[in-house]
Structures are given as structure tokens and as C-alpha cells.
């Protein structure tokens, strides 16, 4: 089945309207711990249930994957991918940089996306080969021609298991960015990072991770606005990518070189780090 994105976009818009209404009219409610400093609120679950129910009725032939309760393993057919509240920590603290992200994945690429940032009254939408829009007006990414002109968003640092190891590259990249770009920003929401890259509010977004519910909508919106979205090695981004890097085309090469330099320096430091002569002992 090849999805008809022209027909499905209004359905996705309706689903996100349902979600945004819940997000803006309910308090977060009870918080469920999912791991170290990772949580979901009652609103996360309420949004996911409501959107799942709506899309199951409207598009029963399309599978559904939600961040909180998962879904069937992705196969050859299309699948909706929902982050019910992208930026849950922001939402809990009353920070308006949070919203709903709904994408449609066909095979391994995004073909449709809707992001609603209801506390900013901003809705971003795109369908493959139909352009990207913000509240109905066409979107175009920024025009930064050099890293010194660029504002770059970087994704959240890792928490949970092996966070220290996973954050080494994130911290190294942050340091390289601080030395090169105009400003570095961390907004705490992949949806915001990608939507604002599409809008040209920022010139690039670097997320050294890739979850389909986080990125499915934003990747397509950024691409349709003229941004380039790639993996760490510069190949086009897919749901199987290791990372999500969206940028205005002119600074893509320099940005990838900067990330590669940070990685190379980490490897060099590890090789020259002296071994501990008296390593700590496990408790008896």
C-alpha cells in the first residue's frame, strides 16, 4: 500500500487537534517514572490513547506506534508514529516548548508530518512533495552560509544507563559548536528543534539519537522546507539512522566535519589517557 498523503494530511491534522486540546486543557496529573530522569504524565497517556483510537477508526489499514505504549513492529506497510507530548519535562515545568508530533513512515522514510506547539499557537505540517507550512503559510529554512552566522540547536543530553559514555560525544560536539557557531541552543524538544530549523528560527539541529516518534514528523517538515536531514555519515536520514542532523544546505559539510572532529578528538584522548595504577576495587 502506498499512502495517499494528500488525503491523509487532513486526518493527521484532526488527530493533532484532538491531542492539542487535551494538552492545553488538562494538568499533567500523576507522573510515571520510565527510568532515570525519564517520565510520562497522565496527559502523555491520554493523548496517545485518544490519537490511537481516532486513527484506528479513520485509517484502520495503517499501523500505529506511540512512544508510551509502543505498537506492532514496523513492516513493509505505512505506520503512524506519535510522540504525544514531545518535551514532557518542559510541560511539567510550565515551559511552553512542548507539543504533539505525528508522522507517517512509509518503509524507512517519513512521508507526512504534523507538529503542533499549542502553547505557541504554532502548527507545522508537510506532506511529501507538497511543501511545508506553518499555520497555513509556506515555510523555508534559513540561509546561513557559514557556521559563524548559525544558531544551532542540540538535543538533550542522555540520561539513564550508560549516560556518561553516551554524553561524551554530545559534550565534545557542544564544545566544538561553542567555539565555531554564533550561538548554541538546547530547547528540550526534538519537535521544536526540527520545526524551528524548517522555519529558519535556527539554522541547524543536531540530535545524536533517533527515535521514530521524536523525528518522523519533524524530519519531513524540515526537508519540505528546504533543509537537508542526514545521519552522522552524511547519508539521507531514515528511521534506521544513528543520529538526526537537520541543517540549511550551505553549512552541512562544515557541520559534519565539526562532529567528526569532536569524535576524532575523543578517540585520541582515550588512546592517551593513562591507565589507573590502582584501579578501584569492587566492594566485598
DSSP line for 155-202: PPPP-STTHHHHHHHHHHHHHHHHHHSSEEE--S-HHHHHHHHHHTSS
Query: What's the distance, Cα to Cα, between the start and end of the chain in Å?
Result: 60
DSSP string, 193-234: HHHHHHHTSSSEEEES---HHHHHHHHHHHHHTT-EEE-TTS
Mean pLDDT along residues 257-269: 91
In the predicted structure, residue 125 carries a pLDDT above the cut 70: yes
pLDDT digits (tens, 9 = 90+) for 79-111: 999 999 999 999 999 999 999 999 999 999 999
Nearest to 189 by CA among 71, 101, 64, 72: 101
For residue 221, pLDDT over 80 is answered with: yes
188 neighbors 89 (Cβ within 8 angstroms): yes
Q: Is 70 exceeded by the pLDDT of residue 62? A: yes
CA angle at residue 162 from 154 to 242, to 5 degrees? 50
CA angle 217, 221, 222 (to 5 degrees): 120
Higher pLDDT, 38 or 265: 265
Rounded to whole angstroms, the Cα distance separating 66 from 52 reads: 8
Reported as a pLDDT band with limits 50, 70 and 90, residue 239 is very high
**Residue 277: its pLDDT value, please?**
47
Residue 165 has pLDDT above 90, yes or no: no
Are the C-beta atoms of 105 and 121 separated by less than 8 Å? no
pLDDT for res 30: 84
pLDDT score of 42 = 93
| Interatomic CA distance for residues 64 and 56, integer angstroms | 8
- Are 77 and 1 spatial neighbours (Cβ–Cβ below 8 Å)? yes
Amino acid at each position: 500500500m502506498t499512502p495517499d498523503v494528500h488525503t491523509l494530511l487532513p486526518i493527521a491534522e484532526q488527530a493533532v487537534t484532538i491531542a492539542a486540546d487535551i494538552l492545553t486543557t488538562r494538568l499533567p496529573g500523576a507522573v510515571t517514572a520510565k527510568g532515570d530522569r525519564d517520565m510520562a504524565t497522565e496527559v502523555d497517556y491520554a493523548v496517545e490513547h485518544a490519537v490511537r483510537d481516532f486513527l484506528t477508526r479513520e485509517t484502520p489499514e495503517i499501523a500505529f506506534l506511540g512512544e508510551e505504549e509502543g505498537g506492532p513492529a514496523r513492516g513493509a506497510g505505512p505506520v503512524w508514529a506519535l510522540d504525544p507530548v514531545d518535551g514532557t519535562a518542559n510541560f511539567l515545568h510550565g515551559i511552553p516548548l512542548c507539543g504533539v508530533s505525528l508522522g507517517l513512515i512509509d518503509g524507512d522514510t517519513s512521508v507526512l508530518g504534523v507538529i503542533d506547539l499549542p502553547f505557541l499557537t504554532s502548527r507545522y505540517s508537510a506532506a511529501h512533495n507538497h511543501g511545508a507550512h506553518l499555520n497555513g503559510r509556506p515555510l523555508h529554512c534559513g540561509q546561513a552560509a557559514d557556521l559563524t552566522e548559525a544558531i544551532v540547536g542540540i538535543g538533550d543530553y542522555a540520561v539513564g544507563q550508560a549516560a556518561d559514555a553516551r554524553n561524551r560525544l554530545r559534550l565534545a560536539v557542544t564544545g566544538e559548536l561553542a567555539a565555531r557557531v554564533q550561538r548554541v541552543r538546547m530547547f528540550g524538544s526534538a519537535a521544536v528543534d526540527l520545526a524551528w530549523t524548517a522555519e529558519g528560527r535556527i539554522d541547524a539541529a543536531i540530535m545524536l539519537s533517533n527515535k521514530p516518534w521524536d523525528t518522523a514528523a519533524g524530519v519531513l517538515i524540515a526537508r519540505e522546507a528546504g533543509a537537508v536531514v542526514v545521519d552522522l555519515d552524511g547519508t539521507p536520514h531514515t528511521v534506521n539512522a544513528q543520529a538526526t542532523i537537520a541543517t540549511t544546505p550551505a553549512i552541512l559539510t562544515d557541520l559534519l566535519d565539526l562532529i567528526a572532529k569532536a569524535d576524532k578528538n575523543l578517540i585520541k584522548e582515550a588512546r592517551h589517557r593513562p591507565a589507573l595504577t590502582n584501579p578501584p576495587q569492587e566492594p566485598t
